[in-house]
Structure 1
Amino acid sequence: MPSRRTFLGTALATGAAVALPATAGASASASGRPRRRVPKESISIQLYTLRGIMGDDPEPVLSALADIGYRKVELAGTYGRSAAEFAAILRRCRLRATSSHVGIDGDLDRVIADARTLGHKYVVVPWVNYATLAQWREFTARLEAAGDVLRRAGLSLGYHNHAHEFAAVEGTRPFDVITAGTTRRNVHMELDLYWAVAGGVDPVAVYRANFPRVRQFHVKDRAADGSFADLGTGTIDFAAIFRATNVTEYIVENDQPRDALVTARVGYDYLVDLRF
């Protein structure tokens, strides 16, 4: 990851390009600006996308993901298997689970042990929602404390947003409470691009305001009617977002896929083929 000073200097110098439509960005690249691409080793998929077809035997689905080209996945549970059992399935399918959605209010020792068994680099809190600012602040304190414990164990704790974190509670956005009340040393951000857009914010502005804490993207497209869409079929200009940012993982997701394996293939191919 670049330094904050180096990145922000470059981003601000090219900031006008972020607002251009994707076709304009492609034209500019053709006229001399180097094209970037998402590295294949940075592409992952959130297995929540495939929950409807996992059934009692997740191995055929995981093997199909490997056949598509995925080498990394993000977990949302282990489908009734122990961490060791699921890790063995992943190895047979030539996949690594570098990230997982977990809770922090239970046994952190168990979270750490399972994460090590599964080979995680990141563990991420996927969802909380509170009615009062005091509750958000109490959660933020717990998040920072858990992040300190996990960092000492060699793991990075993240927070995954939805739209509601960008709606004010008692005059303050919960997202701002979280970022102000935690340190980048202990808590990183897994920015869900769909939910950021649905929440009325610019993902690039969120990234810049919190650089370099945004380390993972949930890459999820949004149809014109606001519903979920497979990558490249919706309205989000990922090329413009990626051109102005730099993260370590691009995680494909669709909360309500019509055909989960088609969604997985379309998402992988889209990220591999995208130039920005």
Structure 2
Amino acid sequence: MTTRRNFIVTTSLATAAVLASPSFAFSMSKKEIGLQLYTLRKELPKDVKTTLEKVAKSGYTAVETYGFSIKDQFWGLTPIELKKILDENNLKAVSGHYNLGSFLYDGKKEELIAAIEAAKILKSEFLTIPWVDEPFRRNIQDYKKIAARVNEAAVMCKKAGLKLAYHNHDFEFEKHDGITGFEILLKETDKDLVFFELDLYWVIHSGNDPLKLFKENPGRFKMWHVKDKDKKNNDLNTEVGSGTIDFKPLFAASKQSGMIHFFVEQENNFANNSFESIKSSCDFISKNLI
């Protein structure tokens, strides 16, 4: 039985532990381990139900969707049908990657409106822009145009009860007349409306330091992609904990980053099969990072 005195003592001890070790606060409010479903892009379209069951059994409680289109929805399922399967497996789609190419390039809102509606049905928190096609990111003016459209989309998302995020690769860190596309996006988007999903692999692959980005832009990076670099071939992924990236200092700086969600992603180079790989990554993170 928990008495009032026991509760006060327990609470006081917990508070003292947090003050003594800030990292303890992170473990007390243990983050959910998410999976970017693009990792399972070969399996998912064939059998959504079984694939998501295996995701849940591997230890994940959150997912990030991908692949939505107005025509095919989510691999032939409507957002309502997908939400039902997620609920049955106690999975939350806290974010989704939505291709907003037509809006970013020419301002047409059909895709964006459909994406917002799908994200609302899934009860997501974030609608995330995953990619910008090469012809539309060749110079400073291109990135300024993207930033302006991202700001516009973020206003629409806020009105719908969503937050908008931008996911990076390595090309954003290429310099154009001495400035990177990523710097333009950070500077010219509304910091109160536009957030970033920092792909740690791509930041490091581009020769940049995530910790430096956290320090220079505190609170902007609300989500991360966590994937490791293969020891033999740095152009390939590997299971988290099996490669060359030291994630411990990154997770220790999660508060400065502003990170509230993160997603394991592995695009290639699975050790045996993708399901074993996602479980291996989940186990490593659970035991060593959070």
Tell me which interval the TM-score lies in, with the shorter structure as reference length. Answer: 0.7 to 0.9
Tell me which residue corresponds to 1:254: 266
Paired residues for 1:163-178 under 5 Å? 163-178=170-185
Tell me which residue corresponds to 1:96: 92
Say if 2:259 is the partner of 1:263. no
Output the amino acid matched with 2:281.
G
In 1, the alpha carbon distance for the partners of 2:188 and 2:126 equals 20
Secondary structure at the counterpart of residue 123 of structure 1: strand
Tell me which residue corresponds to 2:15: none
Q: Give the conservation status (yes or no) of the 8 Å contact 1:49–1:257.
A: no
Larger Rg: 2
User: How far did residue 116 of structure 1 move?
Assistant: 0.9
Secondary structure at the counterpart of residue 254 of structure 2: coil
Cα distance, 1:101–1:181 mapped onto 2, change above 3 Å: same
User: How far did residue 34 of structure 1 move?
Assistant: 5.9
In 1, the alpha carbon distance for the partners of 2:217 and 2:202 equals 17
In 1, the alpha carbon distance for the partners of 2:65 and 2:52 equals 11
Aligned counterpart for 2:55 among listed residues 51, 65, 78: 65
Q: How many pairs align?
A: 245
Aligned counterpart for 1:112 among listed residues 104, 107, 116: 116
Q: Give the conservation status (yes or no) of the 8 Å contact 2:116–2:127.
A: no
Give me the TM-score of the superposition, normalised by structure 1: 0.84
Secondary structure at the counterpart of residue 264 of structure 1: helix
1:33-86 superposed Cα distances (whole Å, 9 cap, x missing partner): 565466554210000001112242211110011112211100002212111111
Tell me which residue corresponds to 1:13: none
In 1, the alpha carbon distance for the partners of 2:99 and 2:173 equals 21
Aligned counterpart for 2:240 among listed residues 208, 227, 231: 231
User: How far did residue 201 of structure 1 move?
Assistant: 0.6
Secondary structure at the counterpart of residue 189 of structure 1: strand
1:150-198 superposed Cα distances (whole Å, 9 cap, x missing partner): 1121111000011111110232100001011101111101000000000
Paired residues for 1:17-36 under 5 Å? 33=21, 35-36=23-24
In 2, the alpha carbon distance for the partners of 1:81 and 1:151 equals 26
Secondary structure at the counterpart of residue 197 of structure 2: strand
Kindly report the root-mean-square deviation, in angstroms, between the aligned alpha carbons of the 2 structures: 1.7
In 1, the alpha carbon distance for the partners of 2:171 and 2:32 equals 28
In 1, the alpha carbon distance for the partners of 2:146 and 2:289 equals 39
Output the amino acid matched with 2:122.
L
Output the amino acid matched with 1:236.
I
Output the amino acid matched with 1:164.
F
Paired residues for 1:8-23 under 5 Å? none
Aligned counterpart for 1:221 among listed residues 225, 228, 235: 228
Q: Give the conservation status (yes or no) of the 8 Å contact 1:43–1:250.
A: yes
Q: Give the conservation status (yes or no) of the 8 Å contact 2:35–2:64.
A: yes
**Structure 2: gaps spanning 5 or more residues:** 1-19, 68-73, 104-108
Cα distance, 1:171–1:75 mapped onto 2, change above 3 Å: same
Tell me which residue corresponds to 1:204: 211
- Between 1 and 2, higher relative CO (CA 8 Å, sep ≥ 6) is seen in 1
